[in-house]
Amino acid sequence: MSSLLCESHSDTMKECYPYQFKHLKRILYVCFLFGQGLKSDLMRQFESQVHDFMDSLIEESASLESTPLPAAFSPPQSDKERSKLGYCISSSTLNLYKCLFEVNHIRTIYHMFIALLILFILSTFVVDFLDEGRLVLDFDLLVYAFGQFPLVVCTWLCMFLSVLLVPYTLFHLWSQSQSGSHGQQRLYTWLFGSAFLLYQGLCLGFLPTYVVVTNSLPPASCFIVIIEQVRLMMKAHSFVRENVPRVLAWQKDKTSNGPVVPQVSQYLYFLFAPTLIYRDKYPRNPVTRWGYVASKLLQVLGCLFYTYYIFVRLCIPQFRSISLQLFNLRAMVLCVFNSILPGVLVLLLGFFAFLHCWLNAFAEMLRFADRMFYKDWWNSTSYANYYRTWNVVVHDWLYYYVYKDFLLISQKRFRPAAMFFVFTVSAVVHEYILAVSFGFFYPVLFCLFMCFGMMFNFIFHDRRKGPIWNILMWTSLFLGQGVIMCLYSQEWYARRYCPLKESSFLDLLKPRSWSCQRDLMAGPDKIKWDY
């Protein structure tokens, strides 16, 4: 009756059902409180899960480079391979390159090069047997290239002893003179600085070159002397450059009784260590693996014989015949493309023999732990990255003592000029090494370095990504090696086909391959071939 009355009078629910509405209000209020609590709990739980997800995502992205591929994308591995891979991943980046040849794919490429060497040896033996009726094992090219080796050893000993004694003695005397008056300090700084520069330019710079030129050392012997000359000059500069600021800092603060001078043993270790940046201490390994040293030195010897067979089978027959032809565009183009294969093989062998085997062998003998002699330059998509990763040892020296010191002197105002100066220094030194080793001046490498190298450094910059840029980099690198191998080989044989009876200084600078004519050259049967 009451419900009908309420409906008829259209009263509110509160007036018609006061008791029920009171309970409903309490229920709704409880539900509201429960909903608010549930909402806050859900929000806290959601926020916690989001934070956990972001933390795991950051950790996963940080370890992405060192994480092996999942099983779906990689072939099944044995326990031994997984243990090696785990060691390389868990170790530092420096050890990753030590484990490079533990990877099956890289080891297969290494085996392919060994198979190619075996084919070169077999082809040489077969051709010699067919031509001579016997096996020829005289290796006359190696005997010629490394001729007068006792003179090379004596020259190196003189250079090494002078670098060991002169820079250290000059620096020690200069550091002891910095405790006097300001005028005496400036006088001794000028005196010892001039003596050091004179030693670098005359004793270490001129005399070894004079010995090489006057004794007409063959190419490989010249190369050893000049490379060691440049290396010792860079090490002497690094030693002085790193220790002079320490003495100047002591001169201002006078925190101890005398300046800190490195010990002779530290300097001697630096002269043999495979680095060009001086430090008082280096990271050291606990033991020396002499089996590892022997394997690396044997690989260097194998690369030497590999290079011998490349020149015997691919280079010498081709360039002897090409040098008999007139200089024209067609012959030049064919020569460049025919020289790409031997040029690239010599480049890769030089990289493997020196930067991987030779430096690792000395690092192992000295227990030198920092093995970052190169990085993955073969994956570079820019020439800027290629220059930084091809030879890390030389790059670090150029960066710290040429680029950064140039910016320090110019107060960081001429960065493009600093980069240009680095390219110039590197190009001049490379061309100097080749000019003295070959016995003639033909600035092919200098022009390629300063023109195309500088241009490609800005075209193939670090923002270039993707496989197409890596392909273009390798293509240009192959072509450059073909140009270098072709032009230097042509000039080498042109100077033997067309010797000058009376040559002036300009004739020595002028490329002989441009003017060597067939009717003016001596007959090939009259030439005494010394390669």
Six token digits for residue 167: 């820079």
For residue 386, which of 17, 366, 513, 378 has the smallest C-alpha distance?
Answer: 378
* CA distances, 506 to each of 266, 432, 521 (Å): 47, 17, 20
Six token digits for residue 64: 């992405």
Instruction: Count other C-beta atoms under 10 Å from residue 375's C-beta.
Output: 19
DSSP, collapsed to helix, strand or coil, labels residue 237 as helix
219-253 and 207-214 helices, crossing angle to 10°? 170
* CA distances, 445 to each of 230, 278, 487 (Å): 17, 30, 10
CB proximity list for 268: less than 8 A, separation 6 or greater: 164
Whether 51 is catalytic is no
Within 285-414, where are the H helices? 290-310, 316-322, 329-338, 340-350, 359-365, 383-390, 392-398, 404-409
Alpha carbons 461 and 389: distance in angstroms, whole number: 14
CA angle 334, 338, 343 (to 5 degrees): 135
CB proximity list for 249: less than 8 A, separation 6 or greater: none
- Looking at residue 70, what DSSP letter applies? P
Of 172, 237, 430, 461, catalytic:
430
Residues assigned a catalytic role? 430
